[in-house]
Amino acid sequence: MAAVTANTRGIMTDSPGVLERCSRVPAPGSGGKSAETWKRDIVRQLKHRDRSQHAMFQDLIRFYSQLLEKSSLAKGILSCSARCPSSDSSSSLSSLLHQNNQLKQTTGELAYQVVELQQQIKIKECVLVEQHARLLEVERQRAGAFDAQRGLQERVEQVREQNGALKMEYDALLEQQRRAETTLREEKVRGGHLLEDMIHIKQQAAARMNNRNERRSRVREANLQRELQMAARSKVTIDSSSSAPTSRSTSPKTEHKSTERGHARLFRSASATSPRILTSIRELFHRKRRGHSVCSLEEDLMSPAGVCLSARVPVRARQVLEAHEQGINAVRFSSSSDLLATGGTDRVIKLWEVRAGSLTHRATLDGSTEGITCIDFDPAGSRILAASYDKSALLWRLEDSTPKLTLTGHSRKVTAARFSTLLHQVVTGSADRSIRLWDLHRAACVQVAEVASYCSDLVCSENCIISGHYDCKIRVWDTRTVGCVQELPAQGKVTSLDISSDHRQLLSCCRDDCLQLVDLRRRSNERVCFRAEGFKCGSDSTKAVISPDGCFLAAGSADGAVYIWNVSSGHLETRLPDKHSSSISAVSWSLSGEYVVSVDKSRLAVLWSDI
């Protein structure tokens, strides 16, 4: 009862708060609308309190009601027994006492349950307070999150505005770039037209100059011929004192006759029409006409090259040396076979003398700003031509270490450079898909052939240039018309070309690990393919060669071995292994047929021979 009374007292303590809140509402006379508002508010608060407290004390009220019922029942029984005593009063009294004890036990249990429920109520109130505090903390975090969200949204709007401004700038720059690219293309086209016009004007000027020089030379020769004819017709009288003395055994009469005949004899001038004087005069005219040329008369005279009757197949390495500081890309023998040139990525050309089966360093030719890709000797063996990665071709005299001439005009690396069959002309091929013919007298390009594919190598024959390309085609160009007159199919991407000494057979090396030999004498251009187990073309610039007698083919493989085929049988003649540790880049066969030299990417040069 005390607990119930305390709870009831606690419930009643809430009434002053309600009354205090009610005292703060406006008075009823302040207006009908406001009076209805505060009345509804009070009713709502009371209903809320009733619902919350009814749920909280529902079990307590139920137990209290049961206790009251049992107490009233006990009182009724006791009063009934007092009013109606009987014979078995003692037994009924004992039963009543027993019921009373049970009632007390039940009341104690109920009181204990009331205490437990109060403790649970206190615990739930603490949990409710903690949850309320957590709710307040979550509300604060939520408010902070809302503030952060608003800040982020503002930042997103700013970034969107900045992105919009940047996009507008980007669009403006893109439009400017497009206009600039359009202008650049137009300027390139205009520059190409200007270059073509300039080349055409230079060609016309050169033709006019050649015609003028030719007319002058014809006039000078005609004048010289007239002078020589006049000198031949002129007569000179020789005095007797200038004649040779006669023999002592000659009689006076005979001497007198001979003296008279000597006075009357006519002599021609000192053989002015002899071939020796004419040759000297022609050399004089040639020297005057070559006053500003980059070529000399001695360089123009082609020394006869020795004919190799039978090339010897090499069987062993005579010498292995580290020829360059970096990888070697090209190797070439001179026409006399006693001089070898090697060029590599270290930007120099080294000359080696071949003596008694060994290589001796002779000179180093520098001047290129990038690596060397191709080397060629002139027929006289006095000049050397090289192609370079620096978009140029360079010409040296063997006695000079610096270039005598640099040919520039290609827009990408020069992959091939060869002396033409015509005097004072060289041909170059480049990765810019063009082939150029150069005049060494003027150090100028006189013809340009545009190609549809990357030019990897070329060779020169009479009045034609043969070039190999990455589009698996070999093209034949006529130098007189600057046009492609024939296209020969290849088995793969062409890496190198070589032509036999009699210009009858053409050798091509392709990336499909096949050598192809073409007969140029026949219109059908019969082709023979040479393959071998283990042979693999190591790079896009691997060079293969024909022996001087045209009986053998040689090429280096990616496995570091030199493969040699027999042309007549079509089979592999020999394989030279174990000297190169990397892919072989080029092979050269001396014109004497005695030596073969192979070079690789690991700076090694190997001299092979048959002994």
Residue pLDDT, tens place only, 398-429: 888 889 999 999 999 999 999 998 888 999 99
- Residue 300 reports pLDDT greater than 60: no
pLDDT averaged over the chain? 80
Which band of pLDDT confidence, cut at 50, 70 and 90, is reported for residue 388?
very high
585 — pLDDT class (breaks 50, 70, 90): very high
Q: Rounded mean pLDDT of 435-459? A: 91
Phi and psi at 511, nearest 5°, equal -75, -5
- How confident is the model over 234-282, as pLDDT tens digits? 765 544 443 333 333 333 333 333 443 333 333 333 333 444 444 444 5
Which residues neighbour 375 within 8 Å (Cβ) at sequence distance 6 or greater? 330, 331, 332, 341, 342, 343, 349, 384, 385, 386
Cβ 385 vs Cβ 372: under 8 Å: no
Q: Where are the beta strands (DSSP E) in 68-146?
A: none
Choice between 289 and 310, residue whose per-residue pLDDT is larger: 310
Q: Does position 294 have pLDDT exceeding 80, yes or no?
A: no
Task: Name 563's bridge partners.
Answer: 555, 575
**Residue 564 in tokens:** 């040699």
Give me the pLDDT at residue 521, please.
Answer: 82
Sheet of strand 372-377, all strands in order from the earlier edge strand to the far edge: 372-377, 383-388, 392-397, 405-408
For the sheet with 414-419, list strands across it.
414-419, 425-430, 434-439, 444-450
pLDDT tens, residue by residue, 150-178? 999 999 999 999 999 999 999 999 999 99
pLDDT of 373 reads 94
Return the CATH fold of 316-609. Methylamine Dehydrogenase; Chain H (2.130.10)
User: Residue 295 — very low, low, confident or very high, per pLDDT cuts 50/70/90?
Assistant: low
Tell me what pLDDT residue 46 has.
86
Question: What is the band of 17 on the pLDDT scale with cuts at 50, 70, 90?
Answer: very low
Backbone angle region of 429, left / alpha / beta, with phi > 0 → left and psi within -120 to 50 → alpha: beta
pLDDT of residue 77: 64
Q: Is the pLDDT of residue 7 over 50?
A: no
pLDDT > 60? residue 283: no
Q: Report the C-alpha gap between 210 and 607 in whole angstroms.
A: 47
In the chain, the percentage of residues whose pLDDT exceeds 70 is 78
For residue 109, the model assigns a pLDDT of 78
Span 312-344, pLDDT tens digits: 899 999 999 999 999 999 999 998 889 999 999
**Which of the residue ranges 8-12, 109-113, 460-464, 531-535 would you say has the lowest mean pLDDT?**
8-12
Identify the weakest region by mean pLDDT among 82-91, 304-313, 381-390, 429-438.
82-91
Q: Where does 379-433 show beta strands of DSSP type E?
A: 383-388, 392-397, 405-408, 414-419, 425-430
User: Could you tell me the residue ranges of all domains in the chain?
Assistant: 218-241+256-300, 316-609
pLDDT at 32: 54
Say whether pLDDT at 303 is over 60: no
The per-residue pLDDT for 266 is 36
14-18, 252-256, 363-367, 548-552: which has the minimum mean pLDDT?
A: 252-256
Q: Which residue has the higher pLDDT, 13 or 143?
A: 143
Q: What is the pTM of this model?
A: 0.53
Q: pLDDT confidence of 57, banded at 50, 70, 90? A: confident
Least confident range of 73-87, 120-134, 346-360, 536-550: 73-87
Q: How many CB atoms lie within 10 A of CB 482?
A: 15
Which pLDDT score is estimated for 166? 93
Q: With bands split at pLDDT 50, 70 and 90, how would you rate the model's confidence at 53?
A: confident
Which value, to the nearest 10 degrees, does the dihedral of the CA atoms of residues 241, 247, 252, 257 take?
-60
Q: For the residues 104-119, what does the mean pLDDT come to?
A: 79
pLDDT beyond 80 at 285 = no
Mean pLDDT of 544-550: 93
Binned at pLDDT 50, 70 and 90, residue 214 comes out as confident
pLDDT tens sequence across 194-210 = 888 888 888 888 888 77
* Range 56-81 average pLDDT: 73
**How large is the average pLDDT for residues 131-145?**
91
- When comparing pLDDT for 422 and 292, which is higher? 422
Q: What pLDDT, on a 0 to 100 scale, did the predictor assign at position 83? A: 61
Q: What is the pLDDT of residue 3?
A: 43
